[in-house]
Every structure is written in structure tokens, then in C-alpha cells.
Amino acid sequence: MKHGLIKVAAAIPAVKVADTKFNLVETEKQIAIAEGKGVEIIVFPELSLTGYTCQDLFQQQLLLDDAEQAVLSLLDFTRQLDIIAIVGAPVAVGPLLLNCALVIQQGKLLGIVSKTFLPNYSEFYEKRWFASSQDLRPQRIHFAGHRILVTPEMQIFRTSQGAKFAIEICEDVWAPTPPSNHLALAGAEIIFNLSTSDELIGKHAYLKSLIAQQSARTISGYVYSSSGFGESTQDVVYGGNALIFENGSLIEQSERFQLDPQLVISEIDVERLRGERRTNSTFVNAQRPVAAGLAGITGQIGELGIRVDCLLPLNLMREFTLTRHFDQHPFIPKTENMQDACDEIFNIQVSGLAKRLVHTNCKTAIIGISGGLDSTLALLVVTKTFDKLGLDRKGIVGVTMPGFGTTDRTYKNAMTLMENLGVTIREIDITASVLQHFKDIGHNASVHDATYENAQARERTQILMDLSNQLGGLVIGTGDLSELALGWCTYNGDHMSMYAVNASVPKTLIQYLVSYAAETAEDETVRQTLNDIVETPISPELKPADDKGDIAQKTEDLVGPYELHDFFLYYVLRCGFRPSKIYWMAQNAFRGVYADGVILHWMRLFFRRFFSQQFKRSCLPDGPKVGSVSLSPRGDWRMPSDAMSTNWLNELEELS
């Protein structure tokens, strides 16, 4: 494990029905490959050493003896290997034949887990050959040179580094109450499923949905391996499925219907799963029946009344190689239909604002339009809201307030957008009023400091607030989540509004949403204007333009790239990761984009500002939560304004 990530693999080996020697060799090949790639736990399909489709051959003693001999050989093969292998084989226990998963490491058979739910419908006929774990009484057996306990009690296995995993077999996850429900509540963080599921039209999509939901519901990693080419196609076909999920998200998968063996490898973030469980009060409350022994889970050793077996130490000297991809833009939704995702975001914002307008019986909205990204998205939301409520867009008062730093480009875009969206336009130049204010307070206008900048921001907010009184409207806030995280807003200036529609939308997502709006715009002028706004450098335009009349004050030159800050923000708030882990993740995500020193520099700034600017977030206006991260003091984030960043910054200094 590294930074809480454990490397796992789902194998689809070549298989020949009832040929245990061939299947053993193929299993050993994939174990050796996985060991060489640093895999810590590998899972194989159901009955992988014999093949699943042996049918009445399972009643032949020769096959059962050969399967046990294959396990003996596999134990010998793994004697010098650290990898934990989970393979499938039939195991006879007295009068019962069980469909089992065997847990093997360093030449030792560490556990036997038998299948609970046996399908006996449609094309399945397992009860003809196998008994359920529910028919089993706890007993010790001699198997593959080991005297080992076989029990109906559910088992959790724990690696030497503390990761806990458990096993269920194929049909178990299809049951109304899968064993993994209880196993996860008892502490299992990763579920491994040995399966052999045939292919039918639409079944694959249902299977992925089923495992995604089970992984999400149990807040666990889920590693699924199902047989492929080589199983009997007498009546059904097996396509081969290897799936790795983490808390409902698909991390890696195989290609179906392949003739060659496949090995799907990725890392599951156990630390993240633990954090999710700690913060999810529903999961914590659901553990009570398990802790009280009311969930049918009993055992002799371990925690919460469940059997826990600790595995042998892994070789901690092996280099950890990351294969998993960390998305550079975690806030941007990743779905097959991005149009639906963008429409959903807009609908959340629109519904929130619509309720506020209806509640206040307000038919006028006041919004400052700068020609930048944030005010553009807010204006799009307001126009969609008015359309939804059947209100005249002339009730939207777009106010452009040029000042010392306003450029022709942003001014033109603001005016063009408002004109083509059909809103009421007000232009109020703030230059004279701000200069008068400087005179009133005795500030030298040639000194372009915080006073110079913030006076402009507060003047604009004052104008909007006064207009709202004059026109009986609501001031719609434009500031976004990224700016709130960094405190990149003027206290009681652009920091304040009467309803902040962008408050939980980060900058990277705003760029994406405005681009989407451009792609779907029916008006060509609107499309061109929106695209130019996306391409315009992000700036508060509070300092004079350069000699060419272009933007001189570029936000990302001052506080750093927003894509980095949004990356940091997501993993700080959504996952609670420590700085060293986020830095390592950023190194991998942005390799070739930002040098390590650049990432570290902006991380330091992020944490300094995030802590020091909390006082602005403690008094935010209302606004709708759009994604899984929000800084609302009434919702997701409660933090004292005088909390210290010392520990976080110290850890970053150690990385230098």
C-alpha cells in the first residue's frame, strides 16, 4: 500500500473444462505476472481450477482429487511470493460438496470461503452438485496438506498493513441481501467476487449497474472476476468480465469476448473508503445490528463478532507503481451523456433560483455583468429561470459597471451577450464615484493596492444593492466555489448577494458549462460571444489595462492555475486527504503539465489562503448545492475562522 492505495487484480485466465493441470499452469502464469507488477491481491473466477461448466463431472472423485492436487501445487508455487491469491475450487466437506474460494499466500492456505446462494433456475443447476454454506456446520478438515477450519460464518481477512477484505461468490451478490452487506458493515473494505456469469442481451449493463450499486451502498471496493473463453458453450456463452469498482465508480474493466487471457489491474483507495464511512452517519448507524450480533454474523475471533484472519506480511520493499489514473478535473462529471450532466447542473441552479423568486414574489433580478466567466454563467442561469417561470426577460437587469481595468474585449462581450439574450441593460461607470471615494478617505489613486481594488468591488456591489431597492429585485451573486476556497473575493463586495447561484460551482466546471452553452446555443452571435468569454484570461479587471488595452491583471498569474486549485480543493473537502497524498496524486495527474516545484508552490498558497480566508465563508448568502462539495457554512463546511494551517504547511515543507 502507498498513501492508502492497495493494488488489486481481477484475472481471466485461459481455461479448459475439467483439465486441472492446464488450469493450474494458466493460474500460475497470471499470478507470476501480477506479482511482477506489484499486485497485492489477485482474484480468479469461480471454480477456476476445474472450470465452472464441469456439470456432473463434479461428482467424479478423480476431478475432486485432481483439484486438491492442483491446490497443493499452487501452494508450492506461491511459497516465495508475497501476493495474496484467491482461487476457486470444489471442496468436499463430509457429505457436502462446496463451491469455494481459497485464500493463498506464501505457500499457506489461509482460508476457505464457501458459496452461500446457489442459483437453480433457468440455465443454472448448481444445487445438483453443490451445497450452500448454510448447510455447513463448522468443522476442521484436512485439505491440500492443511488442517483448516471450514465454517458457514462469514470471514474477513486483514493484510499486515491493515486493509480488510472479504469474499462472496457469483450469485451471492445477486441475492436480495448479499453477504457483502454484512461483511462491509463488519469492517471489510474490499469485496472480491469469484464468478462465472453467462452473457445475455442486456445482462452486462445490468451486472455493472448491480456491482456499482453494491460498491456504493457498502462504500467499498469491489473486484469481480468472471470466466471467459474456454468454458463450455454447450448451451450458454461466457464472455469474461473483470471489473474493479470503488464506492460506485468503475476504475478498470476488461474487454469481453476475448480469446486470450486478461489481467485487469488497478489500485483501490482504502483510505478514501474509510473517510467516506466515517462521515456517512447512515453507514455508521447501519453497523449497529452487526455490532449487537443481530445480523447472523458470529465467529470465534476478530472484531464485531466476525472471524478475522490476518495474512502474512507483504514485502514492504517492493516499489509501488501506480496504474490508476487521477483525473485532472475531478469536478467535471464523467458520464456517457455529458449533455444530460450539464443540463442537470443548470436545472439545479435554475430550480434553486426559481424557488427564491417565487417565494419572494419577485419578478426582477439584478446582476452585474463583467464579460467574464462567472457573471456569464449566472446570467445564463437567470435567463433560463425566467423562461421556466414564464417571466419577461426584460425583468432581468444586467448592469455593466466599467472601471479602471475594464477592457474593450470584456465590455464588448458583456454588452453583446446582454443584447442578444434580450435583458434590460444598464451601464453605470464607477470611475468618478470611486475617485470621489478615494478623495473622501484620503487614498492616493496612483497606489494600486488592496484599497484601490476593493473600493471598486464594493462600489459595484453597492450599486447592485441600491438598484435592487429601487427596482424591487434580487441581486444575483456570480462568485464561484474556487474563489470562495481561496478567498479571492472582496469581503462585503462581490462576496455578497441576495442569492448566489454559482456558490458551489468551481471555476473548471464553469468553463465547461459555458463551453457547453456555446455548443448548444441557437444564436450564432451568442455562440461566438460565449466562446470568446471562455478564451478570455480570467481577471477581476481592477487594475488598468496594459499599453495595448489588454488585460494586465490575470488571476491565475497571481493565485495559480484554477485547475490545480480545484484539484486540491476536491481532495481536501471531498476526501479529507492529507497534503502529502494530494501532492503525490497531483504529481501523477499533471505529469508533463506542471513541474513538481510548481505544484508544491501553489499547494502552499492554497492552504495558506484556505485557512486565512474562512471568515468570508462563514457569512455567505444562500445558494444551491450543485455537486458533492460545498463551502456553505449552513451545509457541508463548518470551520472556525481562526483555525491554524500550521500542520498542513509543515507537511508540505517536509516534501520540499
Per annotation, catalytic residue among 35, 40, 46, 153: 46
Residues 6 or more apart in contact with residue 298 via CB below 8 angstroms: 153, 305, 306
Q: Which of 586, 5, 568 is nearest to 273 (CA)?
A: 5
Q: What is the 3-state secondary structure (H, E, C) of 45-107?
A: CCCCCCCHHHHHHHHCHHHHHHHHHHHHHHHHHCCCCCCEEEEEEEEEECCEEEEEEEEEECC
Per annotation, catalytic residue among 170, 342, 489, 575: 170
Q: Which triple of cell numbers denotes residue 270?
A: 482504502
Q: Which of 327, 322, 249, 222 is nearest to 7 (CA)?
A: 322
Are the C-beta atoms of residues 240 and 44 closer than 8 Å to each other?
A: no
Q: Cell numbers 460438496 correspond to what residue?
A: 97
d(CA 596, CA 590): 9
Q: Which of 117, 110, 113, 75 is nearest to 91 (CA)?
A: 113
d(CA 126, CA 120): 6
Strands 108-114 and 96-105, sheet pairing: antiparallel
Partnered with residue 307 across adjacent β-strands are: 155
The CA-CA-CA angle for residues 74, 100, 310, to 5°, reads 70
The dihedrals phi and psi of 139, each to the nearest 5 degrees, come to -160, 155
Report the half-sphere exposure of 546 (CA within 13 A, side-chain side): 6
Residues 6 or more apart in contact with residue 242 via CB below 8 angstroms: 10, 11, 12, 224, 225, 226, 252, 253, 254, 262, 263, 264
Q: Cell numbers 507503481 correspond to what residue?
A: 321
Q: Is the dihedral of CA 546, 551, 555, 561 positive or negative?
A: negative
Q: Which triple of cell numbers denotes residue 398?
A: 444586467
d(CA 517, CA 528): 11
d(CA 117, CA 129): 13
Distances from the Cα of 7 to the Cαs of 42, 85, 157, 221, 325, in angstroms? 9, 13, 16, 11, 13
Report the half-sphere exposure of 42 (CA within 13 A, side-chain side): 30
Q: Which of 134, 218, 156, 209 is nearest to 181 (CA)?
A: 218
* 115 counts as catalytic: yes
Q: Which triple of cell numbers denotes residue 137?
A: 456446520
* 170 counts as catalytic: yes
* 46 counts as catalytic: yes
First vs last C-alpha separation in the chain? 23
Residues 6 or more apart in contact with residue 387 via CB below 8 angstroms: 393
d(CA 314, CA 41): 10
Are the C-beta atoms of residues 64 and 90 closer than 8 Å to each other?
A: yes
DSSP 174: G
DSSP 109-133: EEEEEE------STT--GGGT-B-G
Per annotation, catalytic residue among 7, 28, 115, 252: 115
The CA-CA-CA angle for residues 626, 632, 638, to 5°, reads 135
Q: Cell numbers 450499486 correspond to what residue?
A: 213
Catalytic residue set:
46, 115, 170
